[in-house]
């Protein structure tokens, strides 16, 4: 038996999320009240690995990204008995997977390695296109906000999250996690200029990046929704610290759309 560590990138637009659904790899979700078929990243990887293994394979992910959320460096682990070298597995998986899912690295991991439970830290990025008009190429990868935002206030509020706090105010209902205390090591908002495909400067995008030892369900999106309300002047920057003390989800901002969120990387010892 060997343990594989897979680093995976995907465009989450059309997927039900990372997690395999109860109905199998091709699960279902509701869209405007109508049940539609969808695929999970976990299910697709398990199907692709089963071709090497000659039987069922369980793939564990470092983070359970939701429907519409993307990944640049999701990490997965799987125990297999196949003897193919890592390069052959990499090529074989990508030949089986759809083009919006790519395995970018396959490694042999030490025994006992688990993508989720061995992780020390995760980093997420949320992209806001703060411009009068958004590029059509941004529509699935950024939250478009045309009105001006007070970035300085948003940066002050973001910094208040660094440290060990109770993030219950930023957790959506339905979480399987009992504890809500997490340690955040980085919480920063930056502005980046972009160059368009036609070579002219494009309006700046706002990038929010956060790193920590763990995240609650919809936590990053709830934080971003709160930061945007601060940027719009609908609440003060000081309210972020009050939310950490108050623990009430109803007092925080709305949950930001999923399509601006990326799992950037997962760090291990």
pLDDT in tens, 103-115: 999 999 998 999 9
pLDDT in tens, 221-230: 999 999 999 9
Average of per-residue pLDDT across 137-160: 94
Distance CA 191, CA 155 (A): 11
Mean pLDDT, rounded, of the chain = 90
CA gap 177, 50 in Å, rounded: 30
Helix H or strand E encompassing 95: helix 86-96
pLDDT, tens only, 75-134: 999 999 999 999 999 999 999 999 999 999 999 999 899 999 999 999 999 999 998 888
More confident residue, 243 or 135: 243
> 108: closest CA among 134, 80, 130?
80
Q: Which of 21-35, 40-54, 65-79 has the lowest mean pLDDT?
A: 21-35
121-267 architecture in CATH? Answer: 2-Layer Sandwich (3.30)
Catalytic site residues? 66
Q: What is the pLDDT of residue 122?
A: 98
Cβ distance 186 to 209 under 8 Å?
Answer: yes
Are 109 and 77 contacting, i.e. CB atoms less than 8 angstroms apart?
yes
User: 27 pLDDT exceeds 60?
Assistant: no
> What's the pTM value of the predicted model, to 2 decimals?
0.91
Tell whether the model's pLDDT for residue 20 goes beyond 70: yes
Higher-pLDDT residue of 205, 155: 155
Q: According to the model, what pLDDT value does residue 19 have?
A: 93
Structure tokens, 178: 């009992």
**Residue 199 banded pLDDT, cuts 50, 70, 90:** low
Domain definitions of the chain by residue range: 2-109, 121-267
Q: Check: CATH 3.30.365.10 for 2-109?
A: no
Q: How far apart are CA 224 and CA 217, in angstroms?
A: 13
CA pair distance 8, 22, nearest whole angstrom: 22
Provide the pLDDT confidence category of residue 192 given band limits of 50, 70 and 90: confident
Same CATH topology for 2-109 and 121-267?
yes
Q: Give the pLDDT of residue 33.
A: 46
Average pLDDT over residues 49-77: 96
> Which 8-state DSSP code applies to residue 205?
E
Q: Which residues of 48-67 are buried (b: 16+ CB within 10 A; e: fewer)?
A: bbeebeeeebebbbbbbbbb
Distance of CA 117 to the CA centre of its chain: 17
Q: What percent of the chain has pLDDT over 90?
A: 77
């Amino acid at each position: 038996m060997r343990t594989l560590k897979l680093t995976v990138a995907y465009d989450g637009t059309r997927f039900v999320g990372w997690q395999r659904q109860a109905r199998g790899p091709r699960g279902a979700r509701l869209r405007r009240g109508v049940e539609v078929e969808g695929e999970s990243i976990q299910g697709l990887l398990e199907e692709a690995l089963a071709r090497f293994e000659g039987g069922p394979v369980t793939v564990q992910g470092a983070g359970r990204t939701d429907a519409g959320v993307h990944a640049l460096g999701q990490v997965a682990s799987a125990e297999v008995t196949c003897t193919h070298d890592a390069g052959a597995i990499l090529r074989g998986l990508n030949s089986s997977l759809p083009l919006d899912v790519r395995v970018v690295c396959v490694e042999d991991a030490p025994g006992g390695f688990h993508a989720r439970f061995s992780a020390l830290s995760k980093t997420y990025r949320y992209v806001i296109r703060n411009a009068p008009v958004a590029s059509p190429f941004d529509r699935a990868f950024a939250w478009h906000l045309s009105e001006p935002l007070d970035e300085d206030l948003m940066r002050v509020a973001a910094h208040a999250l660094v440290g060990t706090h109770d993030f219950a105010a930023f957790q959506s209902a339905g979480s399987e996690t009992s504890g809500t205390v997490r340690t955040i090591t980085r919480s920063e908002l930056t502005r980046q200029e972009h160059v368009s495909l036609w070579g002219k400067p494009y309006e700046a995008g706002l990038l929010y990046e956060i790193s920590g030892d763990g995240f609650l369900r919809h936590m990053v999106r709830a934080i971003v929704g709160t930061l945007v309300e601060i940027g719009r002047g609908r609440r003060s920057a000081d309210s972020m610290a009050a939310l950490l003390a108050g623990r009430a989800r109803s007092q925080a901002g709305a949950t930001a759309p999923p399509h601006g969120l990326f799992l950037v990387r997962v760090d291990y010892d």
